[in-house]
């Protein structure tokens, strides 16, 4: 059910990216344009074909119902930080019509398995405070805050 994304998945991934954007746009229209996508189809093609930016999709055999964008990150020779390999989850989205059917959990667990297999130290992600549903999902998956970004709008 979960597999690496293929170029043929790009149209559906674009639809999912709009859904992600609209959640953020509805929560923070001062920051997020809507409707929009964070990547173009051309950029998606490059991302999908890059081993350092794996994209996974949940495919029920008929449709792609969700995606997980990941990025390999590694800090080396930093004065303060240790040299660890991190798999950063750039984006997880489950089609709004498939929510509550454990698609997100399957994607997340697949990403964790991939990270373990590839020898990553940890998996990280960011969640916007305007998306409490996502935050609750990630907490249910066992994630805990690593750092908190704060703001003051002027």
What's 116's domain CATH number? 3.40.630.30
CB atoms within 10 A of CB 40: 11
> According to the model, what pLDDT value does residue 31 have?
97
pTM of the full predicted structure? 0.95
Distance CA 130, CA 134 (A): 9
| 69, 53 contact by CB (below 8 A) | yes
> According to the model, what pLDDT value does residue 149 have?
95
Which pLDDT band, with edges at 50, 70 and 90, does 48 fall under? very high
Which pLDDT band, with edges at 50, 70 and 90, does 111 fall under? very high
| 47, 69 contact by CB (below 8 A) | yes
Domain that residue 14 falls in: 2-140
Which pLDDT band, with edges at 50, 70 and 90, does 129 fall under? very high
Q: Whole-number mean pLDDT of the chain?
A: 97
Chain-centre distance for alpha carbon 124: 10
Tally of domains within the chain? 1
Strand positions, DSSP E, 31-139: 55-59, 64-74, 85-94, 122-125
Q: What is the pLDDT of residues 50-97, one digit of tens each?
A: 999 999 999 999 999 999 999 999 999 999 999 999 999 999 999 999
> According to the model, what pLDDT value does residue 119 have?
97
Q: Is residue 154 included in any domain, yes or no? A: no
Q: Is residue 149 included in any domain, yes or no? A: no
| 37, 14 contact by CB (below 8 A) | yes
pLDDT, mean of residues 93-117:
97
Order of strands, sheet of 64-74, starting from the edge strand that comes earlier in the sequence: 2-4, 55-59, 64-74, 85-94, 122-125
Q: Is residue 146 included in any domain, yes or no? A: no
In percent, the amount of the chain with pLDDT more than 70 equals 100
- 38: DSSP letter: S
């Amino acid at each position: 059910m979960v597999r690496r994304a293929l170029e043929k998945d790009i149209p559906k991934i674009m639809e999912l990216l709009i859904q992600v954007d609209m959640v953020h746009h509805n929560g923070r229209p001062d920051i997020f344009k809507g409707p929009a996508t964070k990547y173009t189809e051309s950029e998606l093609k490059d991302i999908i074909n890059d081993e350092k930016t794996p994209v996974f999709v949940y495919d029920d055999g008929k449709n792609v119902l969700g995606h997980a964008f990941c990025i390999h990150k590694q800090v080396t020779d930093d004065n303060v930080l240790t040299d660890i390999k991190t798999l950063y989850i750039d984006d997880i989205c489950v089609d709004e019509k498939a929510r509550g059917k454990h698609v997100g959990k399957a994607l997340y667990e697949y990403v964790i398995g991939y990270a373990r297999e590839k020898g990553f130290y940890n998996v990280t992600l960011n969640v916007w405070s305007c998306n409490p549903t996502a935050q609750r999902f990630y907490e249910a998956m066992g994630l805990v805050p690593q750092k908190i970004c704060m703001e003051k709008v002027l």
